[in-house]
Chains A and B, each alone.
Chain A
């Protein structure tokens, strides 16, 4: 015990000076402003250090908007926002894990709430007083209230939300095939439509980027929700899966993936796959609505004219939930500044600044959406009025990260072509069962 304590306190000291110099050097390299360095040295533990993984494109722009909004609200807080690039969130997770392991935590880091918090057991602090003083419980959707608590205390604050049960399409391709996307209200109707696209056009019916397994796991979740319904999906997530429902979902997936996707699916990622929609090579894609960011950035590719959105067939009236949140490590190097930052993250100013660029929506339900485009405004309406907001499976809210890893291992070994329905069903049922 005493050894441990000693180590902790030493590390704490190291962390503080480390953060200070980090800030100092970044000041130098950023603006060439040498005075920052000495400020950092004096300020010591007060420098706010935030880690996130928004390094490219929309994400980087959104992060910039967040920082400048923060500067406006809290001009006196010394801060250092460090984007950690590489491997999706992998490198961020590794860096965060390493620093938490060494008792050298950052002030805050971006991550998912929900069961995902389990992997940070014992290293997260509490921000309940921020929730209280800012009145977040009254303005956030109720799922946000639930999912940001772990062990009876608030561990972080949500910044924005993406929607998972989305089906996007290229308008001219579906028109050419004579398919009306709005009429697709069941997974079997979707499969029929894919067949129609296949026979009527040269386009890929459904484009899929499966170089990582996560796209398929994500598709499983939406398909299960759409085909087997909310209750079946929720009992799967909660650890009492209905084997028949899982099997039926995989059977539909095997039909879709086995017949209607692009030949190079297993060697391309989300971006190339999404490119197929933009270039008119494919009719449909299932993705989280971050995919829409690419449409907005593409030239001459307008919502409702060139591309369209349909709630994933069968899941109408539901909003499969995703949160981008900031978590609060215990042993915090800058407790005061971090609490200010936490209060800021949940504020309207932050959520508007960030989400309009990120292509996501605020988690508050009282936000003026006028600065957002028509697509996100509709998403926000769906969000606020949804009958159910089930948590996603692949992005931390549904199952702990360990279960998620197992699910992806199953997809990798049994369901990346050839599609082994039996083995995948067994693997998924085993993985989530309590």
Chain B
């Protein structure tokens, strides 16, 4: 870390050279003054720090989304370049008429809601367990969070094996209980729930960490007061503690939902191909398949825009909420 001073400076220079606003900084003085007048005294000088990253994000994230929107209005498919002269909503009406798209949208929604709820519930349970003054707290916490550090590609391998029809742990346990084997991945009615379960395994630790921070932020007096009132532990948590975890719940939900929207990596790795098991197709997998397996670029872009709007529907209110609380 000690050498950071130098490297930081060097790359600072390098980046500043690429900055668009740099040119004006030394030559014309009055425009800068005007800018600073308008935006604040450090606006121009600090721009060497925030502007290059901002432009990079602006180009790659927001520029790309707008570009994507444009492509979704064309008929671009196969080889060549999109024709931007002829824009219409044809790809969107095609999506609405495509039962595969509708199924994928429904699956996405189920995964989103179901996964978020079960993961929050398990995460909250874990956080409360961990918060009960236990020994080896660090060990438990570390292990519960461990799957979060693994790649979707890695966890998909583990769960493909866990769900294996003949030799998987889950079916072995089930048959030892006297029940019949279940075709977790192959049965289209079950596979989405199986995927949800695996994702819950991976992300419950994350929800736990968020809730634990929330629990630890609640003053001890609240526990004490509830105890004095004679509330049982369950009542205390239900009536006093959990309501105070609203902030944690909201931020954990948003992040979990976004993870669910991105479950592509997991589904791709589960089967090693673009087409997920029957019944587990979500918009994220359909988009990539339409684009890179079928070369339906415009249609894939339309699916992507749908996915983006779903994300916006979740993140928009969240950002507004954070903004109102002065967290931005």
Indicate if the CB atoms of B186 and A264 lie closer than 8 Å.
yes
Q: Is A263's CB within 8 Å of the partner chain B?
A: yes
Residues of B within 8 A of A119 (CB): 78, 295
Indicate if the CB atoms of A213 and B275 lie closer than 8 Å.
yes
- A87-B272, A264-B186, A265-B186 given as contacts; is B278 within 8 A of A412 (CB)? yes
Q: Which of B166, B275, B278, B293 contacts A94 (CB 8 A)?
A: B293
* Residues 170-190 of chain B, each 1 if its beta carbon lies under 8 Å from chain A, else 0: 000000000001011111100
The answer for the CA separation of A267 and B159 in the assembled complex, in Å, is 13
Q: Is B39's CB within 8 Å of the partner chain A?
A: no
Q: Is A97's CB within 8 Å of the partner chain B?
A: yes
On chain A, which size bracket covers the interface?
A: 20 to 34
Indicate if the CB atoms of B186 and A211 lie closer than 8 Å.
yes
Query: Which residues of chain B from 262 to 300 have any CB-CB distance to chain A below 8 Å in the complex?
Result: 271-275, 277-278, 281, 292-295
How many residues of chain B are within 8 Å of chain A by beta carbon?
29
A265 to B, closest residue via Cβ? B186
Residues of A within 8 A of B78 (CB): 119, 121-122
* Residues 74-114 of chain A, each 1 if its beta carbon lies under 8 Å from chain B, else 0: 00000000000011101001100100110000000000000
Q: Which of B99, B274, B278, B295 contacts A97 (CB 8 A)?
A: B295
Q: Is B79's CB within 8 Å of the partner chain A?
A: yes
Q: Is B80's CB within 8 Å of the partner chain A?
A: yes
Q: Which of B183, B281, B293 contacts A266 (CB 8 A)?
A: B183
B263 → A minimal CB distance (Å): 18
Residues of B within 8 A of A100 (CB): 79
Indicate if the CB atoms of A90 and B273 lie closer than 8 Å.
yes
Indicate if the CB atoms of B79 and A90 lie closer than 8 Å.
no
- A264-B183, A413-B103 given as contacts; is B277 within 8 A of A211 (CB)? yes
The answer for the CA separation of A122 and B295 in the assembled complex, in Å, is 14
Residues of A within 8 A of B317 (CB): none
The answer for the CA separation of A88 and B274 in the assembled complex, in Å, is 11
Indicate if the CB atoms of A266 and B278 lie closer than 8 Å.
yes
Indicate if the CB atoms of A267 and B292 lie closer than 8 Å.
no
In terms of DSSP, what is the predominant structure of the interface of chain B? loop
* Residues 203-223 of chain A, each 1 if its beta carbon lies under 8 Å from chain B, else 0: 000000011110000000000
Indicate if the CB atoms of A211 and B271 lie closer than 8 Å.
yes
Indicate if the CB atoms of B278 and A213 lie closer than 8 Å.
yes
A414 → B minimal CB distance (Å): 9
Q: Is A268's CB within 8 Å of the partner chain B?
A: yes
Query: Which residues of chain A from 186 to 238 have any CB-CB distance to chain B below 8 Å in the complex?
Result: 210-213
Residues of B within 8 A of A67 (CB): none
Q: Is A259's CB within 8 Å of the partner chain B?
A: no
Q: Is A416's CB within 8 Å of the partner chain B?
A: yes
30 of the cross-chain contacts (CB-CB < 8 Å) are: A4-B81, A87-B274, A93-B293, A94-B292, A97-B79, A97-B295, A119-B78, A122-B79, A122-B80, A123-B79, A210-B186, A211-B277, A212-B275, A264-B165, A264-B166, A264-B181, A264-B183, A266-B183, A266-B186, A266-B277, A267-B164, A267-B165, A267-B277, A402-B294, A409-B100, A412-B100, A412-B278, A413-B99, A413-B103, A413-B278
Given contacts A97-B79, A266-B185, 7 further A-B contacts (CB under 8 A): A97-B292, A100-B79, A119-B78, A211-B185, A263-B165, A263-B181, A267-B164
